[in-house]
């Protein structure tokens, strides 16, 4: 939802007045026609108002911390914000890794790579202390924190150990909480921004990716609570809910999905393997490989500009949902259609692409 401002409220009221005063009366005198006209007037007025552009804050003198900059969206975002004039502290899991090395070599001198494992209290605290000292010396302010670091584990629930859920939660959710708490005092002093990376799978859960969805539902809950709590300090919290950008993440490129799933299957107990069967497993892997990458967005620009807007718009909306048409349609389907409909779509996609699980075929009817 877009932030309510005087400008947007004025635009909404003006549009509503024009529609109801001059357009609705032309629809006729029938009560239903009038009621329909008033409803449509409110919807159109709201749509116009929320798209009214507000001003932008000045980038000069502002720093931003980004987590998860080794690869993917985080690495691209560090480069993008560096070019836009921010002083970037790019948190990397491997400070001497290839991604960090290329950031140092290819970006401006203002960008600094920092060693930050978001699961480590010590490393996060050390980076916060380093950033505090750096901005104090330079006279900059820490304007934003972008909690981008994330991992994914794929597999059906019976195939995955509880430890897989812990690992994903530790990075995607608890890492976000840890980083936010460490940097919030600096953000509060300049009334800056916290930008948290969620996902469309933080809005609905899908088969074979339950650890990821569980963590992103947690991100949504944490971010909503944070937004309410820090509003009194003038700090704004914005959630980014990207669609399918899997073509730009290392976890999904090449044969990464197959390798991940093979590892999961090799560690699945034999009795569970027997119930599902190898043919079913191979069908799921094939569906993931073909469906995930074929429906990915072909550019990162929407998600990069959404994060930039979250940082520099004077009154950013609570949420941005960058993605291609397929991602937006899929999100709408699963958020607004009855579960009976969406469950049927799941069953249909599996029926067309995946063999039945061995245990389902052999199951005997219950007396």
Domain extents in the chain: 6-50, 62-353
pLDDT of 269 > 70? The answer is yes
**Continuous H helices in 51-161:** 72-83, 98-106, 121-138
For 282, list phi and psi in degrees, rounded to 5. -65, -35
Cβ count within 10 A of residue 318: 15
State the Cα–Cα distance between residues 111 and 359, nearest whole angstrom.
55
pLDDT category, 248, cuts 50, 70, 90? confident
Catalytic residue of the set 22, 80, 165, 212: 212
pLDDT category, 251, cuts 50, 70, 90? low
State the Cα–Cα distance between residues 142 and 65, nearest whole angstrom.
8
Across residues 301-305, what is the average pLDDT? 94
> Which of 71-80, 185-194, 208-217, 337-346 bottoms out in mean pLDDT, i.e. has the lowest?
337-346
CA Rg value for the chain = 24
State the residue for tokens 């048409």: 325
**Buried-exposed string 288-314: b where 16+ CB fall within 10 A, e elsewhere:** bbeebeeebbeebebbbebbbbbbbbe
* 296 contacts 257 by C-beta, under 8 angstroms: no
Question: For position 367, what pLDDT does the model report?
Answer: 46
Could you tell me which CATH class the domain 62-353 is placed in?
Answer: alpha beta
Strands in 193-197's sheet, in edge-to-edge order, are: 112-115, 87-92, 62-66, 141-147, 193-197, 236-240, 319-320
State the Cα–Cα distance between residues 83 and 77, nearest whole angstrom.
10
Tokens of 222: 């944490």
Question: For position 306, what pLDDT does the model report?
Answer: 96
* 63 contacts 89 by C-beta, under 8 angstroms: yes
pLDDT of 240 > 90? The answer is yes
Question: For position 241, what pLDDT does the model report?
Answer: 95
Check residues 311 and 364 and name the one with the higher pLDDT. Answer: 311
pLDDT of 15 > 80? The answer is no
Q: In this structure, what DSSP letter does residue 109 have?
A: T
Active site residue 212: yes
DSSP 30-58: -HHHHHHHHHHHHHHHHHHHHT----B--
pLDDT category, 363, cuts 50, 70, 90? very low
State the Cα–Cα distance between residues 154 and 292, nearest whole angstrom.
12
Question: For position 192, what pLDDT does the model report?
Answer: 96
State the Cα–Cα distance between residues 248 and 285, nearest whole angstrom.
19
pTM for the whole structure = 0.84
Task: Compute the Cα dihedral for 113, 116, 118, 122 and give only its sign.
Answer: negative
Among 218, 100, 97, residue whose Cα is nearest residue 150: 218
Long-range residue pairs from 43-47, CB within 8 A, at least 24 positions apart, any chain = 44/15, 44/19, 45/11, 45/12, 45/13, 45/15, 45/16, 45/19, 46/12
Mean pLDDT (the chain, rounded): 88
Query: Tens digit of pLDDT for each residue in 124-179?
Result: 999 999 999 999 999 999 999 999 999 999 999 999 999 999 999 999 999 999 99
Query: Tens digit of pLDDT for each residue in 193-228?
Result: 999 999 999 999 888 999 999 999 999 999 999 999
Q: Tell me whether residue 325 is exposed, middle or buried, using C-beta atoms within 10 angstroms of its C-beta: 0 to 12, 13 to 18, 19 or more.
A: exposed
Among 152, 147, 209, residue whose Cα is nearest residue 179: 147
State the Cα–Cα distance between residues 199 and 319, nearest whole angstrom.
11
Cβ count within 10 A of residue 233: 13
Question: For position 266, what pLDDT does the model report?
Answer: 95
> Which of 113-117, 188-192, 249-253 bottoms out in mean pLDDT, i.e. has the lowest?
249-253
Question: For position 272, what pLDDT does the model report?
Answer: 95
Question: For position 31, what pLDDT does the model report?
Answer: 58
pLDDT of 287 > 50? The answer is yes
Among 71, 75, 143, residue whose Cα is nearest residue 313: 143
pLDDT of 82 > 60? The answer is yes
Give how far the C-alpha of residue 256 lies from the chain's centroid of Cα atoms, to the nearest Å. Answer: 21
Cβ count within 10 A of residue 180: 20
**Continuous H helices in the chain:** 6-18, 31-50, 72-83, 98-106, 121-138, 162-169, 175-189, 210-230, 256-266, 270-276, 278-294, 301-312, 325-336, 339-353, 358-362
Question: For position 252, what pLDDT does the model report?
Answer: 67
pLDDT category, 43, cuts 50, 70, 90? confident
């Amino acid at each position: 939802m877009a932030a309510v401002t005087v400008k947007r409220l004025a635009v909404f009221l003006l549009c509503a007045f024009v529609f109801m005063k001059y357009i609705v009366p032309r629809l006729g005198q029938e009560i239903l026609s009038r009621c329909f006209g008033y409803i449509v007037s409110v919807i159109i007025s709201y749509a116009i108002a929320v798209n009214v552009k507000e001003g932008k804050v000045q980038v000069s003198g502002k720093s931003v911390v980004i987590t998860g900059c080794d690869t993917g969206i985080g690495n691209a975002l560090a480069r993008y914000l560096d070019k836009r004039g921010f002083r970037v502290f790019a948190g990397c899991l491997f400070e001497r890794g290839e991604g960090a090395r290329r950031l140092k070599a290819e970006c401006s001198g203002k960008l600094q790579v920092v060693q930050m494992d978001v699961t480590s209290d010590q490393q996060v605290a050390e980076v916060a202390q380093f950033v505090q000292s750096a901005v104090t010396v330079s006279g900059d302010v820490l304007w934003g924190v972008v909690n981008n670091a994330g991992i994914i584990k794929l597999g059906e629930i019976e195939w995955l150990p509880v430890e897989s859920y812990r690992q994903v939660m530790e990075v995607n959710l608890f890492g976000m909480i840890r980083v936010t708490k460490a940097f919030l005092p600096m953000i509060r002093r300049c009334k800056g921004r916290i930008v948290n990376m969620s996902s469309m799978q933080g809005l609905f859960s899908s088969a074979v990716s339950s650890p990821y969805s569980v963590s992103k539902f947690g991100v949504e809950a944490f971010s909503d609570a944070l937004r309410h709590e820090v509003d009194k300090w003038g700090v704004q919290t914005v959630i980014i809910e990207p669609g399918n950008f899997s073509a730009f993440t290392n976890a999904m490129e090449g044969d990464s999905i197959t390798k991940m799933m093979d590892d999961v299957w090799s560690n699945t107990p034999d009795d569970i393997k027997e119930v599902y069967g190898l043919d079913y497993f191979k069908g799921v892997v094939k569906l993931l490989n073909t469906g995930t990458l074929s429906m990915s967005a072909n550019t990162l620009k929407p998600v990069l500009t959404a994060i930039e807007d979250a940082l520099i718009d004077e009154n950013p909306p609570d949420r941005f949902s960058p993605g291609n048409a397929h991602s937006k349609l899929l999100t709408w389907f699963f958020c607004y259609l009855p579960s009976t409909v969406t469950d049927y779509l799941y069953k249909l996609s599996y029926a067309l692409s995946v063999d039945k699980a061995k245990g389902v075929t052999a199951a005997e009817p219950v007396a």
